[in-house]
């Protein structure tokens, strides 16, 4: 049974609809009231969990062979640390020359990885350009050392005219891999990740050819929790740090933000999560949205819940049980993670539309 995403966006209260998925008379558990309908899910041709993002572009009805799309190269750069934090390695992607018009400065996406880290292998042989990207990234393409998920997102975003920066928080703080311990025990708490995100914002603002007024902060899981912490308006904003124009959070743990009595947004947020997520339950994010809108009635907080989808639904891996993962709604029994082809394509269509909207 295939379900379309449930969209919950109460900042536009003039429309009210209840999305019901499945056969007549059957309601999906946890169905969400929708105040504005989500964009229609693009038509698919035999969706498969193994399809990369670039092969399932929003709105496409046929697949483009990956080999026809040259990979976007990355340059490994170094971001100065702040507040006693170490310098950060990061990976900088620029759209290929001729792939997008260069009549204006480029918007930027700063992408924050999840707790399993950014790297697929150690970048020992990659040249570091301290503080800036070099003029010819093909001379030192760092993209192969990254996990395929992040390479595919970088490709998808650069094809839409964005420069992309991916900071490596795990390596900077002495942990290269692993979700087995709690983030706090590994020293990778949201305070440190927020410091890393702010350092990335300042670095981006100094780069030539980018538009520092159009910076998107995007994150997955632990990185999405860092997104929420970064755009929390109850926390002080450092001087000489550009603002986040809009933020995207894929399946964050919303519990901590929900428990803050003064959590508010300083930027529009799109939060996407699976309705069957048993690691970072969607119900907590729905509660967070309700709390924020009670404090900030005009806040732009869009919540998309994809019924039946699990943690990591936008990936391409098969469903698996992780018994070493911390937390979750079933303490000590593990969590389920893995891709969902239909939810992934619907989410990418939503992301594409939301990024392009002048008024998210």
Q: 296-338 pLDDT, tens per residue?
A: 999 999 999 999 999 999 998 888 887 766 565 565 578 899 9
Query: CA nearest 288: which of 299, 279, 274, 276?
Result: 299
Pairing mode of beta strands 106-112, 163-167: parallel
User: pLDDT tens across 122-167, in order?
Assistant: 443 333 344 444 334 444 688 788 999 999 999 999 999 999 999 9
Query: Which residues neighbour 157 within 8 Å (Cβ) at sequence distance 6 or greater?
Result: 93, 109, 111, 164
Fold of 6-356: Rossmann fold (3.40.50)
| Predicted pLDDT of residue 61 | 34
Q: Token digits for 211?
A: 């538009």
Query: CA nearest 176: which of 148, 156, 147?
Result: 147
For residue 93, the cross-strand partners are: 74, 164
Query: CA nearest 90: which of 234, 200, 246?
Result: 200
User: pLDDT tens across 260-290, in order?
Assistant: 999 999 999 999 999 999 999 999 999 999 9
Query: Which residues neighbour 329 within 8 Å (Cβ) at sequence distance 6 or greater?
Result: 278, 279, 281
Q: Does residue 173 contact residue 192 with C-beta atoms inside 8 Å?
A: yes
Q: Token digits for 359?
A: 């008024």
List alpha helices for 46-126, DSSP H.
none
Name the pTM for this structure.
Answer: 0.78
The residue with greater pLDDT, 53 or 143, is 143
Q: What is the mean pLDDT of the chain?
A: 77
Q: How confident is the model at residue 170 (pLDDT cuts 50, 70, 90)?
A: confident
| Predicted pLDDT of residue 19 | 34
Mean pLDDT confidence for 92-118: 85
| Predicted pLDDT of residue 194 | 94
Domain residue ranges of the chain, discontinuous segments joined by + = 6-356
Q: Token digits for 32?
A: 């969400």
Query: CA nearest 144: which of 93, 179, 178?
Result: 93
| Predicted pLDDT of residue 320 | 86
């Amino acid at each position: 049974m295939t379900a379309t995403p449930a969209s919950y966006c109460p900042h536009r209260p003039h429309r009210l609809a209840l999305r019901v998925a499945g056969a007549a008379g059957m309601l999906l558990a946890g169905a969400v009231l929708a105040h504005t309908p989500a964009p229609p899910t693009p038509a698919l041709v035999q969706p498969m969990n193994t399809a990369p993002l670039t092969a399932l572009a929003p709105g496409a009805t046929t697949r483009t062979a990956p080999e026809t799309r040259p990979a976007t190269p990355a340059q490994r750069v170094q971001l100065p640390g702040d507040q006693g934090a170490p310098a950060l390695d990061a990976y900088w992607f620029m759209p290929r020359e001729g792939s997008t018009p260069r009549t204006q400065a480029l918007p930027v996406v700063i992408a924050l990885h999840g707790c399993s880290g950014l790297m697929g292998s150690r970048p020992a042989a990659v040249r570091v350009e301290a503080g800036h990207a070099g003029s010819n990234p093909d001379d030192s393409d760092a993209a192969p050392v990254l996990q395929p998920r992040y390479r595919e997102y970088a490709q998808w975003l650069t094809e839409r005219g964005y420069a992309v920066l991916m900071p490596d928080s795990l390596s900077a703080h002495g942990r290269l891999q692993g979700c087995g311990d709690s983030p706090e025990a590994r020293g990778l708490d949201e305070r440190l990740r927020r410091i890393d995100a702010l350092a990335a914002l300042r670095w981006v603002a100094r780069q030539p050819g980018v538009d520092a007024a159009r910076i998107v902060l995007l994150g997955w899981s632990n990185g999405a929790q860092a997104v929420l912490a970064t755009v929390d308006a109850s926390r002080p904003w450092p001087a000489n740090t550009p603002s986040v124009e809009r933020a995207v959070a894929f399946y964050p743990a919303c519990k901590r933000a929900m428990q803050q009595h003064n959590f508010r947004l300083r930027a529009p947020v799109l939060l996407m999560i699976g309705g069957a997520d048993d690691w970072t339950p969607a119900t907590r994010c729905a509660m967070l949205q309700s709390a924020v809108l009670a404090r900030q009635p005009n806040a732009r907080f869009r919540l998309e819940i994809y019924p039946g989808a699990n943690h990591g639904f936008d990936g391409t891996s098969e469903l698996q049980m992780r018994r070493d993962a911390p937390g979750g709604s079933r303490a000590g029994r593990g969590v389920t993670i893995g891709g969902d082809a239909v939810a992934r394509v619907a989410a990418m269509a939503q992301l594409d539309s939301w990024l392009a909207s002048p008024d998210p």
